[in-house]
Amino acid sequence: MKKTILTNCERNFINASIEKKTRLDGRDLFEARSVNIYFGSDWGTCIVSLGKTRAVAQVSCDIQQPKPSRPNEGMIYINVELNPLAAQHFENNRQCEAATLINRQLEKCIKESKCIDLESLCIVADKKVWNLRLDINILNHDGNLIDCASIAALAALLHFHRPDVTSTGDNIIVHPFNEKDALPLRLFFLPVCVSFITFESGITIMDPTYIEEKVAVAQLTLGVNSYKELCSLHFDYLTKTLTVEDVISVASNHVAKYAINLIKQIKEAVVKDISLRYSKDNTYSCHIKECIISNKITTMCNDNISIKLHNWNFTQQHKNETYENDNNEETNHIVKLAEGFAELITNETKTIGDGGHNSWCPSSEDEMSDVEIISVNESSNTTINKADILELDDDSEEEIIEIVDKKDII
């Protein structure tokens, strides 16, 4: 994987802001980004967005012979793919170290924690079992890939339904979905990964972004279920440092409450989608199209920067107003997005019909001297005779053009 370079100015700026307990996106130190879950038309297909980090998960199954050591248990295989679509420093068709690390952590959290009832996947002992395959692809990389991948994996497993099977001796009949209802997977508990990073100053934050991960010196990932039980743990020193203190005790106070709320959100999203599928409403369509912005090609690009304001004195009634300067030029204005957050809207270009200075003027000074423009008040009822205009034309050396209404000329 190609290495990305972070400048010293960016590194010093982030460290200085973290020491003041301020993050670039306005979040608190132990505040996570918003999570959105969308499901596809097939069972076990979902897209999860954690802030700007996105991952898609797909669960599939087939019938295979079980392992000799586990003759009455099914199997599950997890595969994580990182491609240049997510970030430019990822190489295509090559398993990088980051993908291997994420794959290993998901196996610890999901597979080795025994959260899936593998015995329910057995069809005929020592002969035929279901083999599950969980494929996760990262669509956009903005930090904390392991948390986004674990949420996508858990949502896909809860949403997945396998075909029903009838076994008569050596014959195995796999019923399609139109003959028999699909069967969901049995999960004993629901584990999710929650990540923390520590900086040189010893301050720990939750749910880091990409640029914060580049500055961090240590990373901690905890796999926790809704029963506040620890399913997996991974701690890694990103750089050589001696400033890291006891991170686990600091993170354990926040991870349990966050994991409970996150698992509740995942279950509600899965139940809502499944209930809509089995309802008699024919207007139901897959919700995966809701996460696609059709009016923009580059949906992940954002020219505006998010800032945190300590003092907010901008009233709600003026949030969409613009202010003009002495030259009657439209200036930049601020729009309030949420409590404590704002966005600066710039007006660098003007389109036709939006106003601005008049650019129509004579091409030379000679034309300007030959023509004299006199403005006439529209409210006056003064009339002008044509004869008077003719006399002015004969006696005067210059032409006088008066802008009057046709009704005032007799």
pLDDT digits (tens, 9 = 90+) for 264-292: 999 999 999 988 888 866 655 556 666 66
pLDDT higher than 90, residue 105: yes
> If we measure between CA atoms, which residue out of 150, 232, 248 comes closest to residue 198?
248
Listed range (50-64, 237-251, 360-374) with the worst mean pLDDT: 360-374
**d(Cα 138, Cα 53) in Å, to the nearest integer?**
8
**d(Cα 266, Cα 193) in Å, to the nearest integer?**
13
pLDDT higher than 50, residue 397: no
What residues contact 241, with CB distance under 8 A and at least 6 apart?
200, 217, 218
Q: What pLDDT is recorded for position 186?
A: 92
Neighbours of 163 (CB within 10 A): 18
* Amino acid code (one letter) for 276: L
Q: How far is CA 211 from the centre of its chain?
A: 16
| Start-end of H helices in 237-371 | 247-278, 365-370
Confidence label for 251 from pLDDT (cuts 50, 70 and 90):
confident
Q: What pLDDT is recorded for position 284?
A: 59
Q: Identify which of 162-176, 205-219, 294-308 has the greatest average pLDDT.
A: 205-219
HEC secondary structure over 168-184: ECCEEEECCCCCCCCEE
Listed range (146-160, 256-270, 362-376) with the worst mean pLDDT: 362-376
Neighbours of 362 (CB within 10 A): 11
195-215 mean pLDDT: 90
Q: What is the DSSP pairing of strand 75-81 with strand 128-140? A: parallel
Q: What pLDDT is recorded for position 409?
A: 43
Q: What pLDDT is recorded for position 228?
A: 87
Do 311 and 339 contact (CB within 8 A), yes or no?
no
Q: What pLDDT is recorded for position 247?
A: 78
16-36 mean pLDDT: 91
DSSP secondary structure letters along 137-180: EEEE-SS-HHHHHHHHHHHHHHH-EEPPEEEETTEEEE--TTTS
pLDDT higher than 70, residue 217: yes
Between 375 and 158, where is the model more confident?
158
Q: Where are the domains of the chain?
A: 8-278
pLDDT tens for each residue of 43-75: 999 999 999 999 999 999 999 999 999 999 999
For the chain, percent of residues with pLDDT exceeding 90? 35
350-372 mean pLDDT: 48
Neighbours of 284 (CB within 10 A): 12
- Tell me, which fold does domain 8-278 have in CATH? Ribosomal Protein S5; domain 2 (3.30.230)
pLDDT higher than 60, residue 240: yes
Between 293 and 393, where is the model more confident?
293
**d(Cα 159, Cα 269) in Å, to the nearest integer?**
9
